[in-house]
Chains A and B, each alone.
Chain A
Amino acid sequence: MRYKSQSVAYWYFAVAMVLFGLQLVFGLLSAAKYLGPDPLLYILPFDVTKVIHTNLLIVWVLCGFMGGTYWLIPDESRSELHSTKLAYIQLVLWTIMGVTAIIGYLFRYGTGNKLLEQPLPHKIVIVICMLIFLYNIGMTIRKSGRFTTTEGVLLLGLLSSAVLFLPALLHYENYTVSIYYRWWTIHLWVEGVWMMIMGAFLAYLLIRLSGADREVMEKWLYVIVGLVFIAGILGTAHHYYWVGVPAYWLPLGGFFSALEPAALVGMAMMAYGAIRRSGLAHPNALALHWTVGSALFAMFGAGLLGLAHTFPSINKWTHGTLITAMHGHAAFYGAYAMIILAMISYALPQMCPSRPDKGTSLGYWAFWMQMAGMFGMTLSFATAGIGQVYLERVMGMGYLDAQLKIQVHFLMLIATASLFATGVGLYIYDFFRFRPVFDQAVEPAAPGADPADNREPVRGSV
């Protein structure tokens, strides 16, 4: 840890870890309900466990993004943060918002609009937190006078996240119009600006871990941003299938979302190329596992599995089945959960002096158990979904009867989800096992371990 103010990141990560654990509790509960019958039918019905499961994901992933950014910016700008006090206020507000929203959902206090269930007061707090955050980061960069491409991409991603949240604050009388604008927030977050954040984190980690040349990495980053937006903006069309919008969104969605894997393949190539050319220039091999793993799993989950059902002629059969759950789980985990776990794995040894630099063996267990578990979950959703599509959509069997026929896949889902949850449990335990020490600046483990700092940065703006 070069800069004392980077310690705020630890607390963001700690909150994210707790919420991640809680997310899995509600995920497992939801999965168990697929097997049924449900003893909690009138205490904690499926709609409640599901809304909490997805909302905790949004809250912890954004919390991780913010923590990761507070860690990255001082390193990149070579400066302390503008205000740690603001950062802590923001974290407290964010946590209160997240926790009270979850408690509210237990009592059905929410908007009932998929993924945007946060009540209006909570949405306003989200906007306030984002504004504090952008101000704090912006001031840090301005004061330091050092603005790298990685920062530029990251900042533009965060700024657009805030702007794209605005349509979610409005009220629409026409359900189709409300769907139209809901995807401005959700899709353009997930497949647009969050990808920029992921790309920036990835570039930062690869520069630090592999010693890859900054100029090469940042050039890649521009190409990735271009690809993300060509495919991502017009790829919103694949959410406009069959919802009552003009028919031209169908071919547009098919064409542009077929391009979406390009950016993810680009990221995977960037990671592979960096490692191949520069090797490992940092002792933290565990963080490298997470970094490269994230690029590859995102290519598989977001890219390949998204492509699998994105063409209108296929999607008309698979739309609204467990095929979507297959893609959703693998994509979110690979692209966003893993990049945050990579950032945490990289930052943690620098905040906890007693923690080994190369990662603990428990950390490796956590990595591989999560990999195996999430891969198994993806397969369970895929097999269940394929069964559902053929029985229910193609053959015309009733929904409830088809669900009974695919019970065995739900058993497989619960088994692999338990493996995944154990891996996450180990990661969380490993996170809290070592005490952080913030009162002295901890030097990087090996001299010259951060080759990025030895090179002249490329100034750039996006």
Chain B
Amino acid sequence: MTTRQSRIFAVAATALSALLFMVLTVDSHRQFQELTQSQNLTPEIIHGKDVWHKYNCINCHTLFGEGAYYAPDLTKITQHRGEAYLQAYMRDPSNFYDEQKHRRLMPTQDLSEKEITDLILFLDWVANIDNQGWPPRPILVTGGFAATAASAATGDRDAAPPGTTPVGDDDDSRAKGQYLFNTAVPSCSACHSTQPGADMAGPTMAGLVARTEELLASGDYQGEATDVAGYIRESIVTPSAHVVPGAMYSAGGTSFMPNTYRDSLSEEQIDNLVDYLMTLK
């Protein structure tokens, strides 16, 4: 290759690549609105984005996997934690995690209530952006080996995530319930373990039946259920009917558990879940 040829190669390669890149940029702009649902960008969400920048969140956390690797990814956080939880968390993270146990803790940021609300709106907008289904399996903040996947909600046996037992229509209701426990969105297992003593963002489900029997007999119970199954159903449908004591579980009588299952799960699915949870004596 002569110098002249190598020069032509350099110039042509650069020009062609740049041209193609510009064409794709124009096309990407055409699609941004649909992919990011930018018509939903309210002034509050844009303010939430400014809050995200103002407090330098990206130099510990990641969003879309971009940022620093010192704190959890928050791309889908609003699908794992309800708004009430996130608000209480932002007011004082030390109520939720123990620095001695996890060896790191988020410093309290002193955000105003407006900043917290808008930040959560922004994160919720982010969670709904079409980003080719990433992450392929939910990235949890804490907890162990909860096998979950958004794609598994289809109930397709072949698509079942590792660690879950696939179910079909004629399987036992309790088996379907266990599958739902790991695969509902947000998944129950993101916050509740089934190991004794392993409380995560929500209390452990181990010993649920025995605990509930004690609760119903004690007179401390605030809800309307009369038996254990009724209590479990009530907790799924209206989480705040009775709250388990603890600053990390509720604030002002409102449970941090998402109250969206009433709409996102069918009657039959709720029955399955109750049947499964009734097995956790």
Contact = CB atoms under 8 A, between A and B. Distances in A.
A396 B145 contact: yes
Contact of A47 (B14, B31, B49, B56): B56
A460 interface: yes
B235 to A, nearest CB: 22
Interface in A132-153: none
A250 B55 CA distance: 31
Contact of A112 (B56, B99, B139, B161): B56
A176 B53 CA distance: 14
Given A222-B10, A399-B73, A46 B68 contact: yes
B121 to A, nearest CB: 12
27 contacts: A36-B102, A37-B104, A38-B99, A42-B107, A45-B60, A50-B70, A51-B56, A108-B55, A175-B63, A176-B129, A177-B29, A177-B36, A180-B25, A229-B14, A233-B14, A242-B65, A243-B66, A246-B27, A249-B28, A320-B64, A396-B137, A396-B161, A396-B163, A397-B144, A397-B145, A398-B144, A399-B139
Contact of A233 (B9, B21, B46, B105): B21
Interface string A223-255: 101110110111010000111111111101000
B140 A242 contact: no
Contact of A36 (B21, B104, B122): B104
B69 A325 contact: yes
B210 interface: no
B24 interface: yes
Interface string A301-330: 000000000000000110111101100000
B178 to A, nearest CB: 16
A401 B144 contact: yes
B173 to A, nearest CB: 25
Contacts of A234: 17, 20-21
Contacts of B2: 219
A462 to B, nearest CB: 7
Contacts of A36: 99, 102-104
Interface in A195-235: 215, 218-220, 222-223, 225-227, 229-230, 232-234
Interface of A: 30, 33-38, 41-42, 45-48, 50-51, 108, 110-114, 117, 173-177, 179-180, 215, 218-220, 222-223, 225-227, 229-230, 232-234, 236, 241-250, 252, 316-317, 319-322, 324-325, 392-401, 403-404, 407, 458, 460, 462
A225 B9 CA distance: 9
B64 A242 contact: yes
Nearest to B148: A396
B126 A175 contact: yes
Contacts of A50: 59-60, 68, 70
- 6 A-B pairs with least C-beta separation: A320-B65, A36-B103, A112-B53, A242-B134, A47-B59, A398-B142
A34 B129 CA distance: 31
B143 interface: yes
B104 A403 contact: yes
Nearest to A248: B24
B165 interface: no
Contacts of B131: 242-244
Contacts of B69: 320-322, 324-325
A56 B182 CA distance: 45
Given A225-B10, A234-B17, A246-B31, A112 B73 contact: no
Given A47-B56, A175-B49, A399-B142, A227 B13 contact: yes
B138 A396 contact: yes
A248 B64 CA distance: 17
B66 A114 contact: yes
Given A112-B57, A246-B31, A233 B17 contact: yes
A244 B129 contact: yes
Contacts of A35: 103
A241 B1 CA distance: 37
Nearest to B201: A398
Given A42-B107, A218-B3, A223-B9, A400 B148 contact: no
B132 interface: yes
B280 interface: no
B66 A395 contact: no
Contacts of A404: 102-103
A10 B261 CA distance: 67
Contact of B28 (A180, A223, A227, A462): A180
Contacts of B142: 398-401
Given A47-B60, A50-B68, A246-B28, A398 B54 contact: no
Contacts of A232: 17
A174 B143 contact: no
Name, among B53, B68, B122, B142, the residue most crowded by chain A CB atoms within 10 Å (CB to CB).
B68
A51 B141 contact: no
A248 B21 CA distance: 12
Contact of B104 (A38, A243, A397): A38
B266 interface: no
A319 B1 contact: no
A220 B5 CA distance: 11
A245 to B, nearest CB: 5
A108 B57 CA distance: 11
B167 to A, nearest CB: 19
A269 to B, nearest CB: 14
A116 to B, nearest CB: 10
A401 B144 CA distance: 7
A399 B65 CA distance: 13
Nearest to B64: A243
A250 B211 CA distance: 50
B6 A37 contact: no
Nearest to B48: A175
B248 interface: no
A46 B242 CA distance: 38
A426 B72 CA distance: 37
Contact of B3 (A46, A111, A215): A215
Interface string B16-39: 111011001101110110011010
Given A173-B41, A400-B97, A400-B142, A113 B53 contact: yes
B197 interface: no
A41 B102 CA distance: 14
Contacts of A401: 142-144
Contacts of A117: 56, 59
A30 B69 CA distance: 11
B185 to A, nearest CB: 14
A219 B57 CA distance: 46
B146 interface: yes
B21 A236 contact: yes
Given A50-B59, A176-B36, 15 more contacts: A30-B70, A36-B103, A46-B71, A47-B60, A180-B28, A220-B6, A226-B14, A227-B13, A245-B28, A252-B24, A316-B135, A399-B72, A399-B141, A460-B3, A460-B7
